[in-house]
Amino acid sequence: MSISFTGWAQEEDSVKEKRIKFAIYPAVGYAPETKVNIGTIAFFVFNTKSKDSTFHRPSSITPYVVFTTNKQILVKSDFDLFFGNGMNLNMEARGFDFPDNYYGIGPDTDPSVSEIYTDKYVQLKGSLYKPVNPQWFGGLTFDIQYNKIDGIEDEGLLENDSPVGLSGGRNMGLGPGFRNDTRNSTLWPTHGRFINVSATFYGAALGGEYNYINYVADYRHYFKFLGPKSVLAIQFRMDLTSGDNIPFYKLNKIGGGGRLRGVEHRNLYRDRQSAYFQVEARQELFWRFGGVIFAGVGEVFDNFGEFKANKLRAIYGLGGRFRALKDEKLNFRMDLGFTDNGQHAFYLSVREAF
């Protein structure tokens, strides 16, 4: 969520020189899927950087509770925790009561044709990685999610398409993953790379109701350019699935505040496979303010034989940034994106898109 109007912050220094920073803001946000959001967001940053370390990896927690003008309730918290032994727990905890949109499946869906249904769900998703050395991590990914689907229209899109998952239910996933991380900071990297590869297995053996595998390959690189306050960031990501028992709400997407900003709704393009590339130029301006310009291209598809260059969606846009904490570059962000086929979307959110 996003834009702050008032707030207060606190910083403490322990005897071990571990800085704990805290801020809470009333917030107003916006996303195409939720419209206007009103609520409260907090920032906790535990700075455990040692004096001789070249990597800035503070722990951070950003919980929020919001209500939207689409009559949605969102309770969410993001955790990126680094423990004394170097282990990293990166996790999203969510509880949504969420009127949502279904447009169909595939790259040719129409943004003007959709069905509204209700999706009530809770989710814990993330990874627990152990360091092999300061740059390499290995461990487990996990995804625990329960959905209750209501409000399906008679003879509507969902009933006619009859995708897997209309009854909701449990998705339980677990699998291996590894990460190579040479970024100089997890909050505002100015150089280094991030590579994450994982495979998450879902199935009855774990207590779930659906059987499939989700694969992720995520590559990011950060460069200094033009000056000490300028950063160029790039990302290439593929989300792939195998199996035929994948609920429609767990299919892969290219839209949303962290993907291709500009797609009118995060659910507009979704399918079994997705791939996208995006680039962003980031510039610190003055005081706590900054700005970005970005562009990207991506596609969803059923299988690699159906990947078509003429189905690629391209996006471009610009945004503003405001640093929530005085001495940590953890940002509120405001982005306006456009697509090559005339769509646009506006986002107010927290943290960088990637």
Q: How far apart are CA 257 and CA 76, in angstroms?
A: 15
Per-residue pLDDT of the chain (354 residues; tens, 9 = 90+): 333 333 333 444 433 445 788 888 777 767 676 678 788 888 888 876 544 456 668 898 989 888 888 777 888 899 999 887 888 999 999 998 878 899 999 999 999 999 999 999 999 999 999 999 889 999 999 999 999 999 999 999 999 999 999 999 999 999 999 999 999 988 889 999 999 999 999 999 999 999 999 999 999 999 998 888 999 999 999 999 999 899 999 999 999 989 999 999 999 999 999 999 999 999 999 999 999 999 999 999 999 999 999 999 999 999 999 988 877 788 888 999 999 999 998 887 778 999
CATH of the domain at 220: 2.40.160.50
Report DSSP state, residue 185.
B
Domain housing 85: 3-350
Task: Dump the DSSP string for 303-330.
Answer: SGGG--GGG-EEEEEEEEEEEEETTEEE
Q: Are 219 and 195 in contact (CB under 8 A)?
A: yes
Taking the CA of residue 204 as centre, how many other CA atoms within 13 Å lie in the half-sphere pointing to its CB? 1
Task: Dump the DSSP string for 83-122.
Answer: -TTS-EEEEEEEEEEEEEEE--SBTT--TT--EEEEEEEE
Maximum pairwise Cα distance, the chain: 65
* Kind and range of the H or E run holding 157: helix 157-161
Task: Dump the DSSP string for 253-306.
Answer: ESBSTTSBBTBS-TTSSEESEEEEEEEEEEEEEETTEEEEEEEEEEEEESSGGG
Counting the structural domains of the chain, the total is 1
Backbone angles phi, psi at 11, to 5 degrees: -130, 140
Reading phi first (left if > 0) and then psi (alpha if -120 to 50, else beta), residue 269 is in beta
Report DSSP state, residue 135.
S
Strand partners, 63: 77
Q: How far apart are CA 99 and CA 73, in angstroms?
A: 9
Q: How far apart are CA 124 and CA 142, in angstroms?
A: 8
* Strand ranges in 32-83 using DSSP code E only, listed in sequence order: 35-47, 59-68, 73-82
State how far the alpha carbon of 173 is from the alpha carbons of 32, 138, 211, in Å: 29, 17, 9
